[in-house]
Amino acid sequence: MAGLFGAIGRALAPERTRASAGVPSYGMIPPLGSVPSASGLMISQATAMAVAAVYACVSIRAKDVARCTPRLFVRNDDGSRDQVTDHVVAQLFVRPNRQQTWFEFWQQMMVGYLLRGNAYAAILRDRRGNPAELIPINPDAVMVLEAADGSVFYNVNRIGLWQIAMLRNQPVAIPEEDVFHLRGISFNTLVGTSTIGLARDAIGLAMGLEQQASRWVGNGARPSGVLKAKTRLSEGAAMRLKQQWQAFSGGLQNVGQTAVLEEGVDWQAVQLTSVDLEFIQ
């Protein structure tokens, strides 16, 4: 945050840019991409937000925080304070970049923070070294690098032509004084722990239950069964009969239709168990 208030550390920037970028720093769970859950489903930002409970919690909190209006004050000698409106940071509170309002910018930052435990924005500066724009970066596109001399860099994978254009003057590994990093609970100081990474099994279970229920409804909310023939069927005939039956009976639009079976074929439904009934409820 201190980097927003002036050209702090700019004299050191050329030397630090040439320094070794070091090794990736993880907050216990790697923040990039997807992580497998015990259910077998892969958990990422996109799949987690597909769960209604996750989407509701993230969107409500992100919008509430984004509604808060930030202000910049200067403290007087007598302890009172006056609001500052002509400072470059105060102007960023109104229009952080050329594309977003403050609400849009901070909502995006909060979504990354709530899902991944980290929110990143590149600080673009004018010729005087003052912050001119804040460019939000998806946490999945950032890898924090720590060097042996204590330097920290942010390796940013540019996503989209707009972000490529905005960051064209930035190195691949951006020095820490040019990155605003909001981190959550951390186990190594440098990187917040991925929230959906920690909750991957709970989210995976919710995803699995929703998909199971959706498939159940897609099959007419009925258990599967078996088609029994009195004579032996060839493999081709069995596959054809199975496909015809699924096309006839699958989906809500086919519930209640009358089936006509040929050549002594009988349908035997698998009965619902108490577990099935509880799941439906």
The answer to whether position 192 is within a domain reads: yes
The answer to whether position 209 is within a domain reads: no
Report the alpha-carbon distance of residue 144 to residue 10 in Å, rounded: 20
Distances (CA, A) of 94 to 2, 130, 193: 19, 16, 30
Strand partners for 137 = 120
Shared-domain flag, residues 64 and 104: yes
Shared-domain flag, residues 185 and 240: no
Summarised one tens digit per residue, pLDDT across range 39-81 is 888 999 999 999 999 999 999 999 999 999 899 999 999 989 9
Lowest mean pLDDT among 129-133, 179-183, 235-239, 277-281: 277-281
The answer to whether position 95 is within a domain reads: yes
Separate counts of helices (H) and strands (E) for the chain: 10, 13
| Residue, of 261 and 83, whose pLDDT is higher | 83
The answer to whether position 216 is within a domain reads: no
What pTM was estimated for this model as a whole?
0.73
Name 131's Cβ contacts closer than 8 Å, sequence gap at least 6.
3, 4, 88, 89, 92, 123, 124, 125
The β-bridge relationship of strands 72-75 and 81-84 is: antiparallel
The answer to whether position 16 is within a domain reads: yes
Shared-domain flag, residues 149 and 251: no
Shared-domain flag, residues 62 and 132: yes
Report the alpha-carbon distance of residue 129 to residue 123 in Å, rounded: 10
Lowest mean pLDDT among 19-23, 167-171, 215-219: 19-23
Asked whether 158 and 169 are in contact (CB, 8 A), the reply is no
Judge whether residue 10 has pLDDT over 50: no
The answer to whether position 212 is within a domain reads: no
**Coil, strand, or helix at residue 186?**
strand
Shared-domain flag, residues 14 and 148: yes
Asked whether 184 and 192 are in contact (CB, 8 A), the reply is yes
Shared-domain flag, residues 115 and 182: yes
| Number of domains the chain is built from | 2
The answer to whether position 249 is within a domain reads: yes
Judge whether residue 255 has pLDDT over 60: no
Asked whether 112 and 196 are in contact (CB, 8 A), the reply is no
DSSP 240: H
Identify the pLDDT of residue 14: 45
Kindly report the length of the chain.
281
Shared-domain flag, residues 109 and 234: no
Shared-domain flag, residues 161 and 112: yes
The answer to whether position 215 is within a domain reads: no
Give the domain extent around 121. Answer: 2-201
Shared-domain flag, residues 197 and 253: no
Shared-domain flag, residues 21 and 132: yes
Shared-domain flag, residues 163 and 272: no
Report the alpha-carbon distance of residue 172 to residue 181 in Å, rounded: 17
Report the alpha-carbon distance of residue 146 to residue 93 in Å, rounded: 30
Summarised one tens digit per residue, pLDDT across range 135-177 is 999 999 999 999 999 999 999 999 899 999 999 999 999 999 9
